[in-house]
Amino acid sequence: MLSRLYTATLIGLDCKIVEVEVDYRKGNSYFSIVGLADKSIQEARDRIPSAIRNSGAEFIPMQIVINLAPAELHKSGPSYDLPLAVGYLLASDQIKEVSSKAIFIGELALNGDLRAVNGILPIVDSVSRLGFTEVFLPKDNAEEAANVSKIKIFAASSIKEIIKHLNREEFIDEYKVNPRDFSSQKGENRYDFSSVRGQNFAKRALEVTAAGGHNVLLSGSPGSGKTLLSKCFAGILPEMTIEEKMEVTRIYSVAGLTNKKNPTVETRPFRSPHHTSSQAAMVGGGTFPKPGEISLSHRGVLFLDEFTEFTNMALEALRQPMEDRVVTISRANGSTTFPANFILVAAMNPCKCGYKGDPEKECVCSQIEISKYQKKLSGPILDRIDLMINVLKVKNEELFSNFSAENSLEIKKRVVSARNIQLDRYKGLNIFSNAEMGQSEIGKFVELTESSQKLLRTAVDRLCLSARSYFRVLRVARTIADLGGSEKVEEQHIGEALSYRLSSASDL
Ligand SMILES: Nc1ncnc2c1ncn2[C@@H]1O[C@H](COP(=O)(O)OP(=O)(O)OP(=O)(O)O)[C@@H](O)[C@H]1O
Ligand SMILES: [Mg+2]
């Protein structure tokens, strides 16, 4: 007999429907799986007979040919176990009927138990949009799948439960959770600006960074608090919208970073890959591409500590994604695109020994060493970094005194209102923050007063600002004006924007 049912798989974040055809007929024992199935699917030939026998059904070796279509799609992974097994049972008449609007997905253990698979959220979301009405999947995937409301979810702990359900002997209850109230789930950040002593200049620079969605570079001597400040930064970004949470969860689901306990991503991502990370780890890769750090930071922060220690290859690979806010991974069998819209926070020492510009400790680097070190910084990636600041160590009296500082929540309120101004301004333009302004938008939206023009002209002359720095200053000044609720960019906004340039490498 011939049976037919459906499963689904992911190529990057794209969901593809796969048709499973099973031809079962009398003859010599023969079991073959065709249709560009890789080794992990071929191994199902060993798993399926055991799982079926251990579930009270029969596996009689006859002539079995399973075809996976479309044939040109490379197929991989153990999530095909369940559809293959159900297809066999249907063809051998041990299951009566399967709806053509059903999707089956799940890995089988030898005893017939079902194991969770990666990428469930984007799969269930896509199949429901494509008109499928029910999905059979492992229990441990249910919580994540239940975020999609327009499809019936039948979650089972073993294939035995699915056989009984399909044969109408014992029904599996539809898995339902109360619609997730994303809005009530505030993101938590362990690091709060109220615990950072002093550093008012750096804190303000990070507020501007967050408000305009800019990228920032922090330079300072060891122990000056760069890492601490960066970790606090994620806590002043606006809460993610529901759409953003779903978008980020899809990426984490594909990467296998969601589970029963954490079925969704609620807080803005903060990723801090080590400086030894390879190019593939940064941008993603693999035969069946998985998202890299830049996509795992989507809608959040990519924190590159010890920025100058990253390999040129890894940094170079960030260039195109920072421009396009997506990354395309090309493979022999096609290319995959993942989103990669993140804020870059980079931290570094100002020189090799780390103490250049430190008021207390002397730098022991030679001039050649310093310029060699700073050369590492030059390059196109700097074009995308709008704020570069020196972080000085807090003074001892600030360290030992009683202190109270503004907490992250207060700062976040200002950030959110500045962001709302930008959302209004750029409506319909497909940009959402000041950092995304190109030259034409700068010309249109950065209206300078007479005195601010004058100040800028003087700065260009005296500080020999490059064109690159000039536009950087205008973008940042726009954000500072938004934080102050000012439509025009005033002199003090330009003045403050000019201060967010490295004094040690002032015009990189
Ligand atoms: N302003 C501050 N208020 C409170 N704690 C601070 C402050 N600055 C630094 N610290 C503490 O000092 C320690 C070192 O700070 P941190 O690791 O952020 O420095 P760093 O600039 O990243 O140094 P390195 O260049 O060595 O990476 C941390 O334990 C941090 O909590
Ligand atoms: Mg550090």
Q: Which residues are CB-neighbours of 113 under 8 A, at least 6 positions away? A: 157, 158
Check residue 506 and give its pLDDT.
41
Extract the tokens encoding 401. 């005194």
Q: Which helix (H) or strand (E) holds 141?
A: none
Say yes or no: CB of residue 197 within 6 Å of ligand 1. yes
Check residue 380 and give its pLDDT.
67
Check residue 359 and give its pLDDT.
82
Check residue 112 and give its pLDDT.
96
From the number of C-beta atoms within 10 Å of its C-beta (0-12, 13-18, 19+), residue 332 rates as exposed
Parallel, antiparallel or unpaired: strands 114-115 and 326-331: unpaired
CA separation for the pair 136, 83 (Å, rounded): 9
Check residue 236 and give its pLDDT.
94
Atom of ligand 1 nearest to the CA of 199: 1
Check residue 508 and give its pLDDT.
43
Residue identified by tokens 């015009």 is 507
Do 139 and 82 form a contact (C-beta atoms < 8 A)?
no
**Helix axis angle, 81-91 relative to 159-166, nearest 10°?**
40
Q: For the chain, which domains are there?
A: 2-166 (3.30.230.10), 193-499 (3.40.50.300)
Q: Which helix (H) or strand (E) holds 39?
A: helix 39-42
Ligand showing the shortest atom-to-Cα distance for residue 348: 1
User: Consecutive sets of 10 residues in the chain, 508 residues long: mean pLDDT of each?
Assistant: 94 89 92 93 93 94 94 90 97 94 97 94 91 96 86 96 96 79 53 91 96 94 93 91 85 87 84 92 85 95 92 88 89 82 94 86 90 76 84 81 85 95 91 90 94 92 81 94 96 94 51
Say yes or no: CB of residue 165 within 6 Å of ligand 1. no
Residue of the CA atom closest to atom 24 of ligand 1: 222
Residue of the CA atom closest to atom 5 of ligand 1: 196
Ligand showing the shortest atom-to-Cα distance for residue 401: 1
Parallel, antiparallel or unpaired: strands 102-104 and 63-69: unpaired
Do 347 and 303 form a contact (C-beta atoms < 8 A)?
yes
Check residue 505 and give its pLDDT.
46
Check residue 504 and give its pLDDT.
45
From the number of C-beta atoms within 10 Å of its C-beta (0-12, 13-18, 19+), residue 443 rates as exposed
| Residue 394 DSSP class | P
Residue identified by tokens 């190529």 is 11
